[in-house]
């Protein structure tokens, strides 16, 4: 578990940097030291949590969730369960804890990294969907940074001015004329794309070096 967390935390830092969030992140902690810190790790210790801001003043807080219920003890600190009620309550409690302890507001993004079980459960997806500024990842999905795979092209989320420029350049009457990328797509989620965003994709091209295309982000396909 400590090794998974070590790799996942490094990926999360890279993800924040790719979203243009800055902080004095310590990426390359010696693993021997990391294991010592791990002994103090629980849902509320905050020993691995991250807090970052971007140039717009937007804030993201990352909370690593070790167990489905911090009040339940277990020999290895991991509880294999699909208890949606307990899991949902834990996330709600942690959200309130973050708002109070770190004085976050409703515009700040909270990222939960689930460190128990094999993957996210349906209640995680429901909680994420019902809380616009919350993202939930499972630790197993962050051990390797998917954006660094040689087959994954570079994605870049456009700002408002860039979106307007592209709409005029491509003579679009609306952005839905572009090909679609869903908010649930792993790359869209990595970049925290929201419904209505447009991303620029740099695909390799033998003749031109790279070919640029665009995708419109939607929550679902109608």
Digits of tens for pLDDT over the chain (222 positions)?
899 999 999 999 999 999 999 877 777 788 998 999 999 998 888 899 999 998 888 889 999 999 876 554 433 444 344 456 777 777 888 778 777 766 767 678 999 999 988 999 888 888 888 888 889 999 999 999 999 998 999 999 999 999 999 999 999 999 999 999 999 999 999 999 999 999 999 998 777 778 999 999 998 876
CA-to-CA distance for 9 and 134, rounded, in angstroms? 18
Same domain, 58 and 135: yes
Same domain, 16 and 102: yes
Q: Which of 98, 124, 144 is the last residue of a domain?
A: 144
Same domain, 89 and 53: yes
Check if the beta carbon of residue 109 is closer than 8 Å to that of residue 58.
yes
Angle between helices 31-38 and 2-18 (to 10 degrees): 100
Same domain, 90 and 160: no
Same domain, 133 and 24: yes
Same domain, 132 and 161: no
Q: Which residues contact residue 185 at a Cβ distance below 8 angstroms, ignoring those fewer than 6 apart?
A: 193
Same domain, 81 and 155: no
Domain count for the chain: 2
Task: Name the burial class of residue 209, with classes exposed (0-12), middle (13-18) and buried (19+) by CB atoms within 10 angstroms of its CB.
Answer: exposed
Same domain, 107 and 199: no
Tokens of 87: 């899991």
Same domain, 100 and 152: no
Give the dihedral of Cα atoms 26, 120, 147, 22; nearest 10 deg.
-30
Q: What is the pTM of this model?
A: 0.85
Same domain, 115 and 12: yes
Same domain, 79 and 183: no
Evaluate the CA torsion angle 42, 185, 13, 131 in order and state its sign: negative
Query: Where in the sequence is the domain holding 107, given as residue range(s)?
Result: 1-144
């Amino acid at each position: 578990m400590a090794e998974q967390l070590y790799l996942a935390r490094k990926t999360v830092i890279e993800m924040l940097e790719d979203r243009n969030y800055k902080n004095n992140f310590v990426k390359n902690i010696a693993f021997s030291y990391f294991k010592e810190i791990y002994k103090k790790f629980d849902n509320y210790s905050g020993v691995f949590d991250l807090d970052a801001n971007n140039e717009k003043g937007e804030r993201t807080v990352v909370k690593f969730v070790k167990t489905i219920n911090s009040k339940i003890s277990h020999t290895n600190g991991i509880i294999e369960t699909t208890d949606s009620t307990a899991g949902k309550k834990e996330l709600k409690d942690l959200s309130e804890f973050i708002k109070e302890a770190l004085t976050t507001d409703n515009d700040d993004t909270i990222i939960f990294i689930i460190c128990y079980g094999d993957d996210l459960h349906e209640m995680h997806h429901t909680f994420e969907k019902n809380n616009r500024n919350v993202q939930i990842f499972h630790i197993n999905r962050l051990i390797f940074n998917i954006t660094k795979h040689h087959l994954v092209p570079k994605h870049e989320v456009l700002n408002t001015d860039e979106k307007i420029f592209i709409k005029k350049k491509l003579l679009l009457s609306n952005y839905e004329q572009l090909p679609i990328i869903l908010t649930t797509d792993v790359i869209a989620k990595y970049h925290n794309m929201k419904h209505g965003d447009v991303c620029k994709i740099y695909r390799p091209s033998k003749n031109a070096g790279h070919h640029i295309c665009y995708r419109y982000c939607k929550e679902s396909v109608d």
